[in-house]
Amino acid sequence: MEQIEGRNPVREALKAGVKLDKLVVAKGSERSLQEILDLAANADIPIQWQDRQWLDRKSKTRAHQGVIAWRQPVGYIELPDLIARAFEGSKQPLLVVLDGIQDPHNLGSILRTAEAVGASGVVIPKRRAVGLTATVAKVSAGAIEYVPVAQVTNLSQTITTLQEAGFWVVGADMEGEALHYEADLTGPMALVVGGEGQGLARLTKDRCDFLVRLPMYGQINSLNAAVAAAVLMYEITRQKAVQDKIL
């Protein structure tokens, strides 16, 4: 069983039709959680009431906001299915490929931005990377329910598969030959973002079609992975919007 903690994640799970096994609510929170209670009641989800101290002991995120739900583990999607769904939903789909993101806060934030820009999905490695944990779900603010995630064994082979399917694969790296807004980021795009501290692995860089970098004018020469991913996702979205207007 997995936990979903916090008002936004639980609300979005209910809106997405996720079948929750049970919902535990802090006593005295009826007014502030009324929408969640109504959604749970309409879905015939059992509701229990406990003291806030009980929720504090059960919480994994330390930020339950008076509500914790239990569900079956979030399922991953197979890569071929993710690719097929991506092209069904858009002529210029965007996938986000993560190379060794280990901080659940970064993954949760990336999922939230991916949902905001309408990305078709996220790809993560099975090893040496964080999966879909309770903290990831909390930070994603419910986006985990809407953004499909594929978990793959071999990232280099995955990049090749994406290229063969018609994606341009762009890596975010300080060695990039062009600034992000100078590169053509239209068409089916797979954005590859490296992990905290290490960035993209050498083999991953070599497999990308091209690399782009973000301009850095201050004294610090890198950005948080989630921030960098957000900047690039929105630039891709901007360029696609401009092209759609031209066409």
Domain stops at, among 71, 94, 119 = 71
Same domain, 239 and 158: yes
Average pLDDT, rounded, for the chain: 92
CATH label of the domain that carries residue 21: 3.30.1330.30
Beta partners for 85? none
8 A C-beta contact, residue 193 and residue 232: yes
Neighbours of 80 (CB within 10 A): 11
Question: What's the pTM?
Answer: 0.85
DSSP output for 122-161: EEEESSSS--S-HHHHHHTTTGGGTS-EEEES-HHHHHHH
Contacts of 162 (CB under 8 A, 6+ apart): 83, 95, 97, 169, 190
For range 3-23, the mean pLDDT: 90
Torsion of CA 63, 27, 54, 143, to 10 degrees: -30
Instruction: Report the Cα 188 to chain-centroid distance in Å.
Output: 18
Separation between Cα atoms, residue 128 and residue 118, nearest integer Å:
27
Asked if residue 239 and residue 120 are part of one domain, the reply reads yes
Please identify, among 26, 46, 71, the residue that sits at the C-terminal boundary of a domain.
Answer: 71
Per-residue pLDDT of 75-133, as tens digits, reads: 899 999 999 999 998 889 999 999 999 999 999 999 999 999 999 999 999 998 999 98
**Per-residue pLDDT, 226:** 96
CB 143 within 8 A of CB 115: yes
Considering the domain architecture, whether residues 54 and 113 belong to the same structural domain is answered as: no
Same domain flag for 65 and 84: no
Question: Where does a domain end: 17, 37, 71?
Answer: 71
Number of domains forming the structure of the chain: 2
Range of the domain at 117: 79-246
